[in-house]
Amino acid sequence: MSVGGAGIPRLQELTYIESAALAVAGGEPFERIRLAILDRAEELARGTQHDGSFDPAKWHRRRTDPMSYVHNTVDVLKELMRLGWVERHVLPSSPRSAYAHADVTYEATPSGLAWAELVRHDRLGGYNALVGALLNAHPQFEGYLRLVGARPDSTTGHLTVPLLRNDGPSGSSHERYLTAFVSHVTDASRAGDLGWSAPPDVIEESLRGYVTRAVQRAEARAEQLRAEQLRAKERHAKQRSAAGAGVRARVGAETRPDEPPVSRKRFITLCEEAAVRLSFASAGCPMDYISHELLRRWTRFLGLANFSYYAPGPTALRLWATGRVDGSGDRLDFQRRVGREVRAAALQALPQIWSTPDGHLDDASYHPVWRIRAAVCWKLRISDDEFDAAIDAAYRGEFPDLGFRVHLDEAIQLRAPGSVRPLVLRHSTGHHRVFHVMSLFGAHNNEEALTS
């Protein structure tokens, strides 16, 4: 398998690089590297699935399946080779061929050994060094940071992708939605303050072209599937006739004739994908939708950028810098918006959300934590982690003079979207508590800060 190219590797978690680099430095073979990455994935799942959905048996099955996480292992090894931290070597071409590489070991380069030693003893320093390596290896990584405002030559502090709510009737046509979407994006671009702009004809052509091609591919796949099902039915009919018995053959699940190849939900997602591609290309850093998803995840983990679909204002995907990195390679300077002053500012921003017209706190209102987090983080251009740390600090009494009290509750008011997470705080007993809604009360209120 080739290890060339500078595209964004398909790594959902940057910590896979750490796991693989340490395993390679320790002389472990491919199979042990695979298990190290799988262990890291299980650890992350265990730490984030607070709703009781974590399934140890599922991870046991993955661990005993030699084809599980092979793609992840190959991708991370390719990245280590691209970064110059592992000597180039042939890798499995598919999960089915992984068995032939199970005992293969890889040679870490001097720089790879140095990074493994650094991240082992100084994790923050190790990941700061990783930023420099990624900047050198991936122009799109540097471009993403520049567009969201995290580089010295950034010209704006955010990139905004206009989206459109699914407010129309479920039976309305895809064409009507697409027409409205194109008009919406065009108006938003004309109004400015997106971090990018494009002429109306370019917007129309780009959005319609992407969505139309995707729908045509889906229709072709659906037509192919229907033809295969028809041939299967005819084949089984002949078999039953030849057998001369009333044995009912199983053909498998069939597609419904009236079922569209692209659902309403999928069509709206295609429009979002088209808008993301248009936005980044118009801002000077073309990339596909999956690369953008990975980069926004990486940069959030690295404390350099954040994103949200739910910040106040017109519906949009907003991406913004939460820090700044100057330089490249091994000569970097980081400035992240973190610490006590940032957390104090986050807490002081909360009353504006609950204030009534006369300036008093609305003691009756509870809101989903993820909505409040999005509003505060967008307003202050900070990370989700800093918001959560601010609430945790208030809960622990580190800011006694706020003038209000933060109330948290574990009740689920609204189902949280997939791109957000609940607020998880460690109780004094050592157990974690998961909170979904919050409110503010005046300092005179005698209710407890936390409700059961």
Q: What is the pLDDT of residues 277-286, one digit of tens each?
A: 999 999 999 9
Beta-bridge partner residues of 146: none
CA 260 to CA 174: how far, in whole Å? 11
CA 283 to CA 148: how far, in whole Å? 10
Query: Which pLDDT does position 448 carry in this prediction?
Result: 45
Query: Does residue 447 register a pLDDT over 50?
Result: no
Query: Does residue 407 register a pLDDT over 50?
Result: yes
For residue range 160-197, list pLDDT tens digits in order: 999 998 755 555 689 999 999 999 999 999 998 999 99
Query: Does residue 377 register a pLDDT over 90?
Result: yes
Task: Give percent helix, percent strand, percent coil of the chain, each to the nearest 5.
Answer: 50, 10, 35
User: In which band, very low, low, confident or very high, does the pLDDT at 251 lie, cut at 50, 70 and 90?
Assistant: very low
Neighbouring residues of 208: CB distance < 8 A, sequence distance ≥ 6 = 178, 182
User: In which band, very low, low, confident or very high, does the pLDDT at 412 lie, cut at 50, 70 and 90?
Assistant: confident
Beta-bridge partner residues of 388: none
Query: Does residue 130 register a pLDDT over 60?
Result: yes
Query: Which pLDDT does position 330 carry in this prediction?
Result: 85
Does residue 396 or residue 451 have the better pLDDT?
A: 396
Q: Are strands 323-328 and 316-321 parallel, antiparallel or unpaired?
A: unpaired
Alpha-helix runs per DSSP H in 83-167: 110-121, 123-137, 139-148
**CB atoms inside a 10 Å sphere around CB 339:** 10
Mean pLDDT (the chain, rounded): 88
Token readout for 214 is 């995707």
Q: Are strands 432-435 and 423-426 parallel, antiparallel or unpaired?
A: antiparallel
Identify whether the C-beta of residue 323 lies closer than 8 Å to the C-beta of residue 145.
Answer: no
CA 147 to CA 382: how far, in whole Å? 16
CA 365 to CA 5: how far, in whole Å? 52
Identify whether the C-beta of residue 306 lies closer than 8 Å to the C-beta of residue 374.
Answer: no
Query: Which pLDDT does position 47 carry in this prediction?
Result: 80
CA dihedral for 269, 270, 274, 280, sign (positive or negative): positive
Nearest to 348 by CA among 425, 401, 409, 303: 401
Residue 152 half-sphere exposure, CB side, CA atoms within 13 Å?
A: 7
Angle at 300 between CA 298 and CA 304, to 5 degrees: 100
Helix (H) / strand (E) element for 425: namely strand 423-426
Query: Which pLDDT does position 294 carry in this prediction?
Result: 96
When mean pLDDT is compared across 74-88, 249-263, 296-310, 406-420, the lowest value belongs to 249-263
3-class state of residue 418 by DSSP: coil
Token readout for 296 is 């926004």
Query: Which pLDDT does position 234 carry in this prediction?
Result: 77
